[in-house]
Structure 1
Amino acid sequence: MKTVYIIEDEEILRDLLSTFITTAYPELELLGMTGDGGEGFEKCLELAPDLVIVDIQLPEVNGLEILHRLKQKFPKIKILIFSGKTSYQTVKIAVNGNADGFINKISGLDELEKAIDAVSKGEQFFSPEIRDEVARIRAEAPGRSRPPFAT
């Protein structure tokens, strides 16, 4: 993994993520960041980053739709969901959309670092509080394989 793009609507979190990534991961190139889902999706299509860190609740296009669309276009792209929305349905859509990780916004920097490290090694990472849900979702009978969005 060499490049990263951040899509987060809260400016302070966007700035903190940017600072953390450039400080903790000097080998990664931050291609950019935005607070708008539509703009972020278009930039990712243009720049084809290796890793996208994306919130779920965004203006224009939500993060789960971005996950689905980017995975369709770039199957090898790594997508780390960064959200405080951890309902069962949200986690299910992310898991079925092949998210590489899902970290709760209330997690600390140590957990964010673990998530980025895992995803960069081709592993998946899910915050501890949703791991049981992820296991249940994976054990369920196959259902909808993608988020319920028009393509």
Structure 2
Amino acid sequence: MVLRTYLVEDNPVIRENLIDTLAELANVKTVGAAGSEGEGCRWLTRNGDKWDLAIVDLFLKEGNGLGVLASCMDRRPQQKVVVLSNYATPEMRSRCMALKADAVFDKSNEIDALLDYCVLHASGTARH
């Protein structure tokens, strides 16, 4: 199964590298991307049947990833929202989990864990 993924990341270099890496190593098809909270919230809520996974950065060009998480709280059970940030402190992880994030990954040292997470969900063997 291909995991239809939407990215909310404002850095174009990181966004493009992530798209390529996820497609190559984790059976992920990126269905869209946003660089701001508003754009990400609008797309994710208006296209609820077109994505399986959202990957959200916390610090964005406009707004922040916490707002994106809040907008996804009423998603379908099989849809996953994860945070990928350089600011994955214990306190921030706790705040993200309170907003129903399924996982939080640190950009600097947990990319492999994100890839493993994507592979697991793409294979359909993940717990929902």
Coarse TM-score class (shorter-chain normalised): 0.7 to 0.9
Q: In the superposition, relative to structure 1, how do residues 91 and 108 fare at CA in structure 2: closer, same or farther (>3 Å)?
A: closer
- TM-score, structure 2 as length reference: 0.81
Q: Please give the residue correspondences for 1:2-151 in structure 2 after superposition, counting only pairs within 5 Å.
A: 2-26=3-27, 28-48=28-48, 49-72=51-74, 74-76=75-77, 77-107=79-109, 109-120=111-122, 121-123=125-127
Higher relative contact order (CA 8 A, sep 6+): 2
Structure 1 stretches of 4+ with a deviation exceeding 3 A read 118-124
Computing the radius of gyration from Cα coordinates, the structure with the larger value is: 1
Q: How many residues align?
A: 122
- Judging changes above 3 Å, is the alpha-carbon distance between structure 1 residues 123 and 17 closer, same or farther for their aligned structure 2 residues? farther
Unaligned runs of 5+ in 2: none
Seq. identity, %:
23
Alpha carbons 1:83, 1:103 under 8 Å: kept: yes
The structure carrying a bigger helix percent of its residues is 1
RMSD, aligned α-carbons: 2.1
Classify the secondary structure of the residue corresponding to 1:107: coil
Where do 5+ consecutive residues of structure 1 fail to align? Answer: 125-151
Instruction: Provide the C-alpha distance between the structure 2 equivalents of 1:87 and 1:6, rounded to a whole number of angstroms.
Output: 21
